[in-house]
Amino acid sequence: MAIDFGDLKVYERMTQDPRFEDAYQGCLSCGTCESLCPAGQFYDYNPREVVEATGRADEAELRNWLENKIWYCAQCCSCKFRCPRGNSAADLVMILRDIAVEKGWAKEALEKYTRILKTILTVGNQLSPDMIAPDFFPDWGPRVAEMSKHKKEWRAELGIPGLMPIDRSWAVPAHVIKELLDIWKLSGAMDRVEATNPFLVELAWDNIEEALEDEKQAAEASHT
């Protein structure tokens, strides 16, 4: 995807991020970050490049990263905790990702995460047991695969009310999700989601209205 950068000064914009000061100190070009980077093993990706491009305020290279490479990082932070200069390629990538999201350039990259985002916005947590299916994890082996078919029964057997469902990790009450949505709205997170996927935001508010209504009715029913 070709991005129209307009008059964006990527380096300048990065330096305005509060994380920048800790993320970049100068670089020894030692390669420790790249040696340990799991993304570097699979993609044409080298965290040292984004650090050095930052050090040179290399607009062309930083734009190049914004186009694509920032989405390869697994945010494992190996680079951050071993860098002898105390840099964090992980955080530089995160700053660039935020720029991409804010500008609406992240649509394509984040499309595959729509389901996760939707889950967070509607049920209040990200992973649900039914997402973790044997087809995705062939290394599980037959025994675990067989067990996982009966997640629902296993979890019910636990007898812990919040942990019964399998379409979410635990059941978050509607009024708590509403609070989360309000916090995300105030903090600007919802604007970011909107820039990437406006449909999701609409869906979240519709969903919470219904859920609150259900909650209210359920409460009334239990009182009468």
Partner 1 sequence: MENVVVIGGGPAGLKAAAELRSLGLDVALVEKAGVLGGTPVQEKFALLAPELRPAEEVVGALVKAVQQDGVQVHLNSTVTAVAGQGKDFTLTVQNGKGEERLQAGAVIIATGYEHFDPSVKPEYGYGVFPDVITSAQLEGMLSDGKVVRPSNGQVPKKVAILQCIGSRDAQVERKYCCRVGCVVASKQAVELRQKYPDMQVYIFYMDIRTYGRGFEELYWKAQDDFGVRFIRGRGAEVRRRGDELLLKAEETLKARASETPFDMVVLTVGMGPSEGTKAMASLFGLPVAEDGFVEPADRMLAPVSTKAAGVFVAGTALGPKDIEDAALEGAAAALRAAAYLKGGK
Which residue from 10, 23, 83, 177 is in contact with ligand SF4, where contact means CB under 6 A? 83
Q: Which of 86, 104, 162, 188 binds partner 1 (CB under 8 A)?
A: 86
Residue 179 host element (H or E): helix 174-186
Residue for token pair 């699979």: 42
197 binds ligand SF4 (CB under 6 A): no
Backbone angles phi, psi at 11, to 5 degrees: -60, -45
Select from 30, 76, 132, 133 the one that contacts partner 1 (CB under 8 A): 30
Residue 38 has φ and ψ, to the nearest 5°, of: -65, -35
CA angle in degrees (0–180, nearest 5) for 107-112-115: 105
Pick from 13, 19, 85, 155 the residue near partner 1 by CB under 8 A.
85
Residue with tokens 């635990």: 170
84 or 104: whose CB is closer to ligand SF4? 84
Closest contact distance (angstroms) between CB of 26 and partner 1 is 10
User: What's the residue count for the chain?
Assistant: 224
Q: Rank residues 65 and 184 by Cβ distance to ligand SF4 and give the closer one.
A: 65
Position among 37, 62, 123, 181 found at the interface with partner 1 (CB under 8 A): 37
Comparing CA positions, the residue from 120, 131, 118, 223 lying closest to residue 176 is: 120
Told to check if 41 binds partner 1 by CB under 8 A, we report yes
Phi, psi values for residue 76, rounded to 5°: -85, -20
- Could you say whether residue 87 binds ligand SF4 (CB under 6 A)? yes
Contacts with partner 1, residue ranges (CB under 8 A): 25, 28-32, 34-37, 40-41, 46, 48-49, 81-86
